[in-house]
Amino acid sequence: MMQTELNLHLRGGRRAGAGRKRAKSRAMPHMQRAELAPRHPVHVTLRVAKGCWNLRSFRALRALEPAFHAGRERFGFRLVHYSVQGNHLHLLVEAADKGSLARGMKGLEVRLARALNRMMKRKGRVFADRYHAHILKSPREAAHALRYVLMNFAHHARAWGEKISAAFIDPFSSMRYLANSPGPAAPVAGPETWLLRVGCYGTS
């Protein structure tokens, strides 16, 4: 005689589709960060929490720029460019490794959060979730990221039907430091990676 298997639905154990459904969220999942080589810059996006004011005001910029300056070069981390949008920040940064990136971003986030809370006369969380980091590994990627960060507002404004000159310099960005090396009082540090110094300008 041959013994056959019985597919019984026993109680207990893990079943496909069982359990509480995961809520939809824009928060970054807590996945391990990718390894980072010092020759590769990083495009960072940092979103603010609900209830925070619109960041795209000169009042907010006056709070943000000293915090950028204080955290622009620490722990092997360098803030090279930034763009301030209504509810998020775009940054181009360099770091010696993923640990330097984590420490540098943590210090910068603390400074930015304190500055914005002082401006808004409030307490509590400022940034909505973990920052998103995209490592730039080629001249084309670096060029695209530089244009995206510094021309972010102009791109959206044109999509809204506004006329933006090709010579437009966004005052809520570090675009003005493209032509001039940032001095000691600047909110950003000069780039050290070849990709942000040279590579990004050699491609279209």
Ordered structural domains, the chain, with CATH = 42-201 (3.30.70.1290)
Tell which wins on pLDDT, 9 or 112. Answer: 112
Q: Write the pLDDT tens digit of every residue in 64-101.
A: 999 999 999 998 999 999 999 999 999 999 999 999 99
Q: Which amino acid is at 200?
A: C
**Which pLDDT belongs to residue 1?**
47
Task: Tell me how far apart the alpha carbons of residues 172 and 160 are, in angstroms, rounded to a whole number.
Answer: 19
Q: Write the pLDDT tens digit of every residue in 177-188.
A: 987 789 999 999
Q: How confident is the model at residue 156 (pLDDT cuts 50, 70, 90)?
A: confident
Task: Tell me how far apart the alpha carbons of residues 37 and 40 are, in angstroms, rounded to a whole number.
Answer: 6
Q: Write the pLDDT tens digit of every residue in 17-61.
A: 555 555 454 554 555 677 999 999 999 999 999 999 999 999 999
Q: Dihedral of the CA atoms 12, 15, 21, 27 (nearest 10)?
A: 110
**Which pLDDT belongs to residue 29?**
53
Q: How confident is the model at residue 3 (pLDDT cuts 50, 70, 90)?
A: very low
- Which residues, at least 6 apart from 130, have a Cβ–Cβ distance to it below 8 Å? 27, 28, 30
* Three-state secondary structure call for residue 6: coil
Residue 5 has pLDDT above 50, yes or no: no
**Which pLDDT belongs to residue 162?**
77
**Which pLDDT belongs to residue 4?**
44
Do 69 and 4 touch, CB atoms closer than 8 A?
A: no
Q: Torsions phi, psi of 130, nearest 5?
A: -65, 150
